[in-house]
Amino acid sequence: MLNGATARAAILGTLLTLALFSVLFVTSAAAQDGKQIFNNRCALCHGADGDGKGVIMQIAPFGPDFWKANDDAAIAKGKGRMPAIALSPEETKAVVEYMKANFKK
């Protein structure tokens, strides 16, 4: 039979394990979404590798100066020849994280 402290430790351990799994799962799901969103909504112009060699546009790649700008605003409002892209705040976050992880140099 479990005493109180052992039972509490077991419950705490279970909760920590669940929390860890949910963090891992949510993180990878967001990363996956970011890639999908970029490929579906951005790659036509920005290129699948963020190099600006898109199918319908040839534009500057995401260079070093690029990341100093507030990139989220350009997505929501559009900028220059880029139209506003309707994404939820979560989708915007996911796609920006994907871009930073893969294209930032």
- In the chain, the amino acid numbered 72 is D
With CB under 6 A as the contact rule, the residue among 30, 31, 48, 82 that binds ligand HEC is 82
Q: According to the binding rule CB under 6 A, does residue 74 interact with ligand HEC?
A: yes
Concatenated DSSP letters of the chain: ---HHHHHHHHHHHHHHHHHHHHHHHHHHHHHHHHHHIIIIIHHHH-TTSSSB-SS-B-----TGGGGS-HHHHHHH-BTTBPP----HHHHHHHHHHHHHHH--
Shortest distance (Å) from residue 85 CB to ligand HEC: 4
The interface region with ligand HEC, picked from 1-9, 11-19, 22-30, 37-45 by CB under 6 A, is: 37-45
Q: According to the binding rule CB under 6 A, does residue 46 interact with ligand HEC?
A: yes
The interface region with ligand HEC, picked from 8-16, 25-33, 81-89 by CB under 6 A, is: 81-89
Q: Closest CB to ligand HEC among 29 and 69?
A: 69
Q: According to the binding rule CB under 6 A, does residue 69 interact with ligand HEC?
A: yes
